[in-house]
Amino acid sequence: MYSTHSVAAAHYLVLQNHLIAIIAGAFQVLLQHIELLLLEAHSKRFLYLPHTHHPQSGSPGQRRAVDSQCEH
């Protein structure tokens, strides 16, 4: 027969392993959300930057006007 102490210790280890798995899973989900937010912010940043492949096309004011028309 197992002693009460060893059964309690085994239950504690199982509980500890479950808690570690839950915390690790939650941390992984949090990191995935952060990664998605960073990717979204990164893509939006490049979406709203002035186009660099033809930087000499008009004054900055004209480029902003064209960019604002493209956003709508």
Contact 67, 50 (CB under 8 A): yes
Place of tokens 């959300």: 33
How many domains does one find in the chain?
1
Q: What is the pLDDT of residues 25-48, one digit of tens each?
A: 999 999 999 999 998 888 877 666
The dihedrals phi and psi of 58, each to the nearest 5 degrees, come to 90, 175
- At 31, which amino acid appears? L
Whether this model's pTM surpasses 0.85: no
Q: What is the pLDDT of residues 3-30, one digit of tens each?
A: 888 999 999 999 999 999 999 999 999 9
Show the domain range for 28. Answer: 4-71
- At 67, which amino acid appears? D
